[in-house]
Amino acid sequence: MSYQAIENDIKSGAVDRAVPILLYGEEAFLTDHYERQLTALFSGSDDNANSLDVSVFYMDEAEDDAIMASLDTFPMLSALRVVVVKGHPGFSGQKAGAEDAAKKKNLLAEYLAKIPDSSRLIFVNNNVNKTRVLYKAIAKHGIIYEFTRLGESELRNFSLKRFKEKGVNITPDVLDAFVFATGYLEKDTERDLFLVEQDAHKIADFVLAGGRDVITNQDIEECMPSILRTDVFAMLDAISAGRKGAAINLLENSLAGGESVFRLLSLFTGHFEIMLGYKELSAGGLSAAKITQILGERSEWRVKKLGGYAQRFDTAKLQWIVGRLYDVERNIKSGDIPERLALTVLLAEI
């Protein structure tokens, strides 16, 4: 995981000696964050936009000879000259359109072994083709960091760091609830670290505005109402304890607040599928970590929490519930029963 690797390299000083550096991957927050951090580290200034010794090239505006010329320029006010190159076409899988363009790209790759000690080069890209000459040259002469989506433990550390920076505290169990509530770890989610950071800052500001410095589950529910996952857990708790009336009241409150029936149905279906899988797999003595892997989930905390609810049902009951959830979705889509009524009847039946 490059998220941890680059942090370790920054602390050890290994990154200071890396010429050049490539930052890429699907997690744009991290490429942006470390581009700024490395530029500030090398230039010695947080005001990179106004630094005379920092040059930023967008490859629809500059040629490789301009990049090399900038790297060959001695720094004026800083210890190092920093050159940032964004979106270089030499990382793409497409072939160069002309022979001279191909030569230029190879020329830049050859130049990477001769970058002056007074300069640092940072490439930033979304995707790269690892077979390209430029990529191989960086791998040989510098360091490459690929930023994939974070796993659960990395997301915990990422979130905890944001809370600490804001000056608020959070207990491990509430942190687990926050990580799950962000929706970042769900399959096929569009939520990214930009949104996770926004959620963390919003909750921290809410707590500080109230004159407190410790985040509670109530704060998460108050500040992240659109996520609704805590309400779904409350419904599951009521259902599994036989308090159907309370579960239906929670359902009605959620729907009255503008929540979609199909989104609720999707959440319920996903939860009960995990509960059934946990019930069946745990009977074979498998650990929560192994069950999480088998089920293809990214949040062990979510699987363990739902596993606790699963123990309140027998396997046959869970199989029946999952089947009924599928039936309800089909019935709603076919128009056989109104959406709200179908979900209310389902909770009553469970």
Residue 180 has pLDDT above 90, yes or no: no
Predicted local distance difference test score (pLDDT) of residue 304: 86
Residue 103 has pLDDT above 70, yes or no: no
Q: Is residue 90 domain-shared with residue 138, that is, in the same domain?
A: yes
188 vs 137, residue with greater confidence: 137
Amino acid at 227: I
Q: How many CB atoms lie within 10 A of CB 205?
A: 13
Dig out the tokens for 212 from the structure. Answer: 């407190």
Residue 186 has pLDDT above 80, yes or no: no
Domains identified in the chain, total number: 3
pLDDT digits (tens, 9 = 90+) for 264-314: 888 888 889 999 999 999 998 899 889 988 998 877 877 888 898 898 889
Q: Is residue 169 domain-shared with residue 196, that is, in the same domain?
A: yes
Q: Is residue 264 domain-shared with residue 310, that is, in the same domain?
A: yes
Domain boundary among 223, 240, 256: 223
Q: Is residue 122 domain-shared with residue 92, that is, in the same domain?
A: yes
Domain boundary among 195, 223, 251: 223
Q: Is residue 40 domain-shared with residue 96, that is, in the same domain?
A: yes
Report yes or no: 21 and 123 within 8 Å, Cβ to Cβ. yes
Task: List the domain range (segments joined by +) for residue 244.
Answer: 229-349
Residue 118's pLDDT band (boundaries 50, 70, 90)?
very high
Q: Is residue 270 domain-shared with residue 343, that is, in the same domain?
A: yes
CATH number at residue 254: 1.20.272.10
Q: Is residue 21 domain-shared with residue 132, that is, in the same domain?
A: yes
Q: Is residue 294 domain-shared with residue 164, that is, in the same domain?
A: no
Q: Is residue 49 domain-shared with residue 90, that is, in the same domain?
A: yes
CA-to-CA dists, residue 56 to 37, 77, 169, 227, angstroms: 14, 17, 38, 38
Predicted local distance difference test score (pLDDT) of residue 222: 77
Report yes or no: 94 and 129 within 8 Å, Cβ to Cβ. no
Q: What are phi and psi of 221, to 5 degrees?
A: -65, -35
Contacts by residues 221-227 (CB-CB < 8 Å, ≥ 24 positions apart) = 223/199, 224/181, 224/182, 224/199, 225/257, 227/181, 227/182, 227/183
pLDDT digits (tens, 9 = 90+) for 35-90: 999 999 998 876 655 578 899 999 866 688 999 999 999 988 888 999 999 999 88
Report yes or no: 201 and 162 within 8 Å, Cβ to Cβ. yes
CA–CA gap between residue 291 and residue 285 (Å, rounded): 10
CATH number at residue 183: 1.10.8.60
- Beta bridge partners, 82, equal 54, 120
Q: Are strands 214-215 and 119-125 parallel, antiparallel or unpaired?
A: unpaired
CA–CA gap between residue 143 and residue 22 (Å, rounded): 7
Which alpha helices (H) appear in the chain, and where do they start and end?
A: 2-12, 28-43, 64-72, 99-111, 133-141, 152-166, 172-181, 193-209, 217-223, 229-240, 244-256, 261-282, 288-295, 300-310, 315-334, 339-349
Q: Is residue 17 domain-shared with residue 135, that is, in the same domain?
A: yes
Domain boundary among 120, 146, 172: 146
Q: Is residue 256 domain-shared with residue 327, that is, in the same domain?
A: yes
Residue 94 has pLDDT above 70, yes or no: no
CATH number at residue 141: 3.40.50.300
Dig out the tokens for 1 from the structure. Answer: 């995981």
CA–CA gap between residue 161 and residue 199 (Å, rounded): 13
Taking residues 96-101, report their average pLDDT: 46
Q: Is residue 312 domain-shared with residue 262, that is, in the same domain?
A: yes
The percent of residues above 70 in pLDDT, for the chain, comes to 91
93 vs 339, residue with greater confidence: 339
Task: Indicate the average pLDDT of the chain.
Answer: 85
CA–CA gap between residue 71 and residue 107 (Å, rounded): 14
Q: Peptide bond before 20: cis, by omega within 30 degrees of 0? A: yes
pLDDT digits (tens, 9 = 90+) for 228-237: 455 677 788 7
